[in-house]
């Protein structure tokens, strides 16, 4: 049985993760950490009855007492980096679903994991359909290099653009680093930011935050007399769970943290 801690367990993604782990036949939920809901039985939060697992607020104190095999983290940009370093220092494999890590922090985490020989995953998105959307976009840009990204999320998401949008731009850039259009030289924004942010000086990313949304992304590619739109919609947060469970199972045999679920689905980690 794989022992799993969920950090950020009281949030919407944390609850889904705790429930998925609780229901997995080859896993056991051993702990729940969050600054909210402290003292509550996680079973009551995820509607599976009392479990005896009480939400606590100190990750450091939990890791001093217990060393689970894997920690799933859905905290936020302010906490996730330090949390991940703590997991690695305590020999716990991190599965990071929280976004907001910058490139330097990701590289630091990977370097530390390699030194310690501890596997794990940083995943901008766990939805398998979203991974396919990114892969298809990276393939399409070889033929249609004019591309923009529109990502849409619920109004409680703090960071923008989303980790999924950044990862999509990275994959596109790897395919056509010198081929995508970087905009008109004299392009004028009468309202600053109207054309979105630029990834590596060229790929436009537009962020939308509205109530009623969950997680959605369009990659729009343009060509002579045509456009191609590749879109993924997350209807509910259950869609992230199959990918997360794959990551937990694979992390047990990995020796380094990798960035992107596609590394587990399409490549040898």
Would you list the domain boundaries of the chain? 2-118, 128-234
pLDDT recorded at residue 150: 98
Q: Which residue has the higher pLDDT, 5 or 174?
A: 5
pLDDT recorded at residue 121: 97
- Cα–Cα distance between 107 and 257 in angstroms, integer? 10
Place of tokens 């930011």: 193
pLDDT recorded at residue 17: 96
Phi, psi for residue 30 in degrees, rounded to 5? -110, -15
Looking at residues 124-150, what average pLDDT do you find?
Answer: 94
> 32-36, 84-88, 252-256, 263-267: which has the minimum mean pLDDT?
263-267
Residue 26: Cβ-neighbour burial (10 angstroms; 0-12, 13-18, 19+): exposed
CATH of 128-234, one of 3.40.50.720, 3.30.360.10, 3.40.30.10, 3.40.50.620: 3.30.360.10
Please tell me whether residue 126 adopts helix, strand or coil conformation.
Answer: coil
Looking at residues 89-115, what average pLDDT do you find?
Answer: 94
Query: Does the pLDDT at position 269 exceed 50?
Result: no
For the record, the structure tokens of 173 come out as 């850039």
DSSP 8-state assignment for residue 170:
H
Per-residue pLDDT band at 177 (split at 50, 70, 90) = low
For the record, the structure tokens of 35 come out as 């600054």
pLDDT recorded at residue 179: 55
Contacts of 21 (CB under 8 A, 6+ apart): 4, 6, 27, 28, 29, 72, 245, 248
Query: Does the pLDDT at position 180 exceed 70?
Result: no
| Domain with residues 2-118, CATH architecture | 3-Layer(aba) Sandwich (3.40)
Q: End-to-end alpha-carbon separation of the chain, Å? A: 22
The residues annotated as belonging to the active site are 153, 157
Is the pTM here over 0.95, yes or no? Answer: no
- Cα–Cα distance between 157 and 138 in angstroms, integer? 26
């Amino acid at each position: 049985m794989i022992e799993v801690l969920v950090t950020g367990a009281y949030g919407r993604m944390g609850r889904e993760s705790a429930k998925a782990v609780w229901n997995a036949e080859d896993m056991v939920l051993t702990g729940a950490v969050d600054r909210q809901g402290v003292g509550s039985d996680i079973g009551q939060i995820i509607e599976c009855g009392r479990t005896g697992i009480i939400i606590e607020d100190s990750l450091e104190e939990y890791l001093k007492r217990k060393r689970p095999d894997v920690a799933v983290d859905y905290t936020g940009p302010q906490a996730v980096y330090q949390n991940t370093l703590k997991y690695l220092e305590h020999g716990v494999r991190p599965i990071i679903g929280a976004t907001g890590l910058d490139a330097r922090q990701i590289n630091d985490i990977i370097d530390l994991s390699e030194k310690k020989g501890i596997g794990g995953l940083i995943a901008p998105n766990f939805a398998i359909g979203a991974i396919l959307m990114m892969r298809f976009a990276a393939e399409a840009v070889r033929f249609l290099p004019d591309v923009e990204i529109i990502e849409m999320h619920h109004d409680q998401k703090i960071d923008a653009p989303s980790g999924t949008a950044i990862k999509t731009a990275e994959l596109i850039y790897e395919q056509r680093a010198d081929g995508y259009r970087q905009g008109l030289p004299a392009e004028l924004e009468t309202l600053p930011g109207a054309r979105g942010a630029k990834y590596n000086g060229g790929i436009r990313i537009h962020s939308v935050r509205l109530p009623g949304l969950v997680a959605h992304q369009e990659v729009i590619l343009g060509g002579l007399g045509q456009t191609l739109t590749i879109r993924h919609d997350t209807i509910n947060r259950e869609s992230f769970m199959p990918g997360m469970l794959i990551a937990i199972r694979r992390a047990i045999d990995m020796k380094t943290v990798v960035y992107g679920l596609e590394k587990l689905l399409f490549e040898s980690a």
